[in-house]
A and B are shown apart, each in its own frame.
Chain A
Amino acid sequence: MEKEQDSILDEVTSGEYKYGFHSDIETEKIQKGLNEDVVRIISAKKNEPEWLLEFRLKAYRHWLTMKMPVWPNLRIPEINYQEIIFYAAPKQRPALNSIDDIDPELKRTFDKLGIPLIEQAHLAGVAVDAVMDSVSVKTTFKETLAEMGIIFCSFSDAVKEYPELVRRYMGTVVPYTDNFFATLNSAVFSDGSFCYIPKGVRCPMELSTYFRINAANTGQFERTLLIADEEAYVSYLEGCTAPQRDENQLHAAIVEIIAEKNAEVKYSTVQNWYPGNKEGKGGIFNFVTKRGICRGESSKISWTQIETGSAITWKYPSCILRGDNSIGEFYSVAVTNNHQQADTGTKMIHIGKNTKSTIVSKGISAGRGQNSYRGLVKVLKNATNARNYSQCDSLLLGDKCGAHTFPYLEVDNQSAIVEHEATTSRIGEDQIFYCNQRGISTEDAIGLIVNGYAREVINKLPMEFAVEAQKLLQISLEGSVG
Chain B
Amino acid sequence: MSAVSEVTARYLNLYNDNIDRINGISSPYINSFRQKAFEKFTELGVPTRKNEDYKYTNLNVFFDHDYRSLFMPVEADFAKADEFRCDVADLDAQGIVLLNGFYPTLNGKLHQFPNGVWIGSLNEAAVRFPDLVEKHYGKYAQTDKDGLVHLNTAMASDGVFIYVPEGVVVAQPVQVVNLVHAEEDIFNQHRNLIIVEKNAEFTLIICDHTLSPGKFLTNAVTEAYVGENSHFDLIRVQNEHNTACKITHTFIHQEKNSVASSNNLTLHGGLVRNSTYHNLGGERAESNSYGLFLGDKFQHIDNFVSVVHSSPNCTSNQLFKGVLDDVATGAFNGRILVRPDAQGTLAYQRNNNILLTDDAKMDTKPQLEIYADDVKCSHGATIGQLDDESLFYLQSRGINKREARVMLMFGFAHEVIQNIKIEALRERMDNLVMQRLRGELSRCASCMVKCG
A415 near B383 (CB under 8 angstroms)? no
CB neighbours of A420 from chain B (8 A): 364, 366, 379-382
- A408 sits at the interface (CB 8 A): yes
B360 near A414 (CB under 8 angstroms)? yes
Among B360, B378, B383: residue with most chain A CB under 10 A: B383
Q: Compute how far the CA of A414 lies from the CA of B357 in the bound complex, rounded to whole angstroms.
A: 5
Q: Compute how far the CA of A425 lies from the CA of B366 in the bound complex, rounded to whole angstroms.
A: 17
1/0 per residue, CB under 8 A from B, across A394-409: the answer is 1011111111111111
Among A73, A398, A405, A414: residue with most chain B CB under 10 A: A414
Closest to B382 in A: A419
B358 near A418 (CB under 8 angstroms)? no
Q: Compute how far the CA of A363 lies from the CA of B186 in the bound complex, rounded to whole angstroms.
A: 50
CB neighbours of B370 from chain A (8 A): 394, 396, 402-404, 424
A418-B383, A420-B381 are known contacts. Are A409 and B364 too (CB-CB below 8 A)?
yes
1/0 per residue, CB under 8 A from B, across A65-81: the answer is 00000010100000000
B381 near A409 (CB under 8 angstroms)? yes
- A422 sits at the interface (CB 8 A): yes
- B384 sits at the interface (CB 8 A): yes
Q: How many residues of A contact B (CB 8 A)?
A: 35
B371 near A422 (CB under 8 angstroms)? no
Closest to A401 in B: B373
CB neighbours of A406 from chain B (8 A): 365, 367
From B52, B357, B364, B369, A404 is in contact (CB under 8 Å) with B369
Q: Compute how far the CA of A403 lies from the CA of B336 in the bound complex, rounded to whole angstroms.
A: 11
Q: Compute how far the CA of A401 lies from the CA of B376 in the bound complex, rounded to whole angstroms.
A: 15
CB neighbours of B371 from chain A (8 A): 401-402
CB neighbours of B366 from chain A (8 A): 405, 407, 420, 422
B384 near A412 (CB under 8 angstroms)? no
- B340 sits at the interface (CB 8 A): yes
CB neighbours of A417 from chain B (8 A): 382-385
Q: Compute how far the CA of A401 lies from the CA of B364 in the bound complex, rounded to whole angstroms.
A: 26
Give the secondary structure class of A's interface: strand
Closest to B366 in A: A407
1/0 per residue, CB under 8 A from A, across B20-41: the answer is 0000000000000000000000
A419 near B365 (CB under 8 angstroms)? no
- B57 sits at the interface (CB 8 A): no
- B77 sits at the interface (CB 8 A): no
Q: Compute how far the CA of A419 lies from the CA of B352 in the bound complex, rounded to whole angstroms.
A: 9
A397 near B383 (CB under 8 angstroms)? no
- B356 sits at the interface (CB 8 A): yes
Q: Compute how far the CA of A464 lies from the CA of B344 in the bound complex, rounded to whole angstroms.
A: 40
B381 near A400 (CB under 8 angstroms)? no
A419 near B367 (CB under 8 angstroms)? no
Q: Compute how far the CA of A397 lies from the CA of B375 in the bound complex, rounded to whole angstroms.
A: 11
A412 near B52 (CB under 8 angstroms)? no
Closest to A408 in B: B365
CB neighbours of A421 from chain B (8 A): 378-380
Q: Compute how far the CA of A270 lies from the CA of B362 in the bound complex, rounded to whole angstroms.
A: 36
Q: Compute how far the CA of A71 lies from the CA of B53 in the bound complex, rounded to whole angstroms.
A: 12
What's the least CB distance linking B340 to chain A, in Å?
Answer: 7
- B377 sits at the interface (CB 8 A): yes
- A426 sits at the interface (CB 8 A): yes
CB neighbours of A394 from chain B (8 A): 368, 370
In the complex, besides A404-B370, A405-B367, A411-B383, 18 extra interface pairs with C-beta distance below 8 angstroms are A399-B343, A400-B340, A401-B373, A402-B370, A406-B365, A407-B367, A409-B363, A409-B364, A409-B383, A411-B355, A414-B360, A415-B358, A420-B379, A422-B366, A423-B377, A423-B378, A424-B370, A426-B373
- B interface residues, Cβ below 8 angstroms from A: 52, 56, 340, 343, 353, 355-358, 360-385
Q: 26 A–B contact pairs at CB < 8 A?
A: A394-B370, A397-B373, A399-B343, A399-B374, A400-B340, A401-B371, A403-B368, A405-B368, A406-B365, A407-B366, A407-B381, A409-B362, A409-B364, A410-B56, A410-B362, A413-B358, A414-B355, A414-B360, A416-B383, A419-B381, A420-B366, A420-B379, A422-B366, A422-B378, A425-B377, A426-B373
